[in-house]
Structure 1
């Protein structure tokens, strides 16, 4: 659920970090419904919803609100803002009355996030996927960019959501950038990249991977 704290704004869960219960903005069911629509419109099918998207993924915030309200009569501008601003994985950004998804696109856009300066990055995969990736390199089959993790533990967590036998591929990001591979920082956990050739990849030994407590990430 999403609530609003009078001191700290929108938050998810029962209580704000300050301890206040806050005002309910969206219950769990409506958060899921609204989240699916907004994610679909900003990542996958903007034109199906009548949204005009520029080459960097931005759409007019008021137009998105109109679309949302046509689909869900209970929805309001505040609820769209609450969804975007409280997202724990920082999926969205808002600027100058525009909104976009920060990552996860299946449509052809050119994002302009800051260049990543990580020396090493990581990708979580199943054992079968890892063998194939080491042969042909990293390229997403369904998304515009490859999503890389900034730590081996986070990559293990990502892979663990899809497979019971995760493998972590290490990316020599310094060498890849030196050969012209574009890499951009999305947030503290995620870097997005163009295709990464196989010569910059290797498998990490499982003993070198700190295991997270929970195995889940979108």
Structure 2
């Protein structure tokens, strides 16, 4: 299991100077330890330096290829995906080394795929045996076999002011994705609206009564660490989170401050 704690790694003192360490590369812990890979200078579990696995740029590029193959277009690399979204890791590595030999030919091995997956803090990918898949974000049709138990009683979804009326009328549809993507918290939904495909400055947040959804027979899957999936959300399960709600008001205040700067 990887720990990517770069977002909260403090500055360190070296040779009398403070610096922020280079933390985006991936390293492997080579002593007995509960953590296999980590994205920090030292293993957060045992404090060892570990062994270098890949640089920041290599990690980012490989992550983009993972998204392309496991979410959207495995055929681009002549790869086969099974009905549940699994792709063979060895075949994936061989395809990248062949088609992009200048970029991947010298260094890419199966353990690099596993390292990127384990160090993805959002849980966007999953490794099982010698196969890998995306847990959400698909535009290709797959049959999900993700967990459906312990679903929170409420989940959240961002939308624009322009889309609010039609969503409240017909519900939430997946659009160009295979499933509707829901967030565990108001903050995560707001982040998805501002930084995701919608790029909304001030997203409206809808609360979904998932307890009622599942009670009436609809299925909700747990995909990532804070992402859940549904085939559709009917309008009767939707309610707007008001701007003065304690879960949303601090976020709006922060956005207003950013706009003034």
Per-residue CA shift, 1:39-86, capped at 9, x if unaligned?
Answer: 111110012211111111112222112122222213122211211121
Pair 1:3-2:27 in alignment: yes
SS in 2 for 1:35: helix
Contact preservation (8 Å) 2:63, 2:116: yes
- The higher radius of gyration belongs to 2
TM (norm. structure 1) is 0.89
Determine whether 1:178 maps to 2:215.
yes
Cα shift at 1:23: 2.5
Equivalent residue for 1:197? 234
Unmatched 5+ stretches in structure 2: 1-24, 256-261
Moved more, 202-211 or 140-149: 202-211
Check if 1:83 corresponds to 2:116.
yes
Structure-1 separation of matches of 2:129 and 2:36: 19
Aligned residue number for residue 39 of structure 2: 12
CA distance in 2, matches of 1:28, 1:132: 42
Cα shift readout 1:129-184 (whole Å, capped 9, x = no counterpart): 33332122111212111110112222122223221112110111122223332211
Provide the rounded CA distance (Å) in 2 between the counterparts of 1:14 and 1:129.
Answer: 45
Extract unaligned runs of 5+ from structure 1.
none
Q: Which has the higher contact order (CA 8 A, sep 6+)?
A: 1
* Deviation string, structure 1 residues 15-52 (Cα, Å, up to 9, x no partner): 33244343321111111111111211111001221111
Q: Which residue of 2 aligns with 1:156?
A: 190
Query: In structure 1, what is the Cα distance between the partners aligned to 2:85 and 2:139?
Result: 11
Question: How far, CA to CA, are the matches of 1:14 and 1:126 in structure 2?
Answer: 40
For the residues of structure 2 that align with 1:132 and 1:17, how far apart are their CA atoms? 47
**157-166 or 136-145, which moves further after superposition?**
157-166
In structure 2, distance between residues paired with 1:126 and 1:14: 40
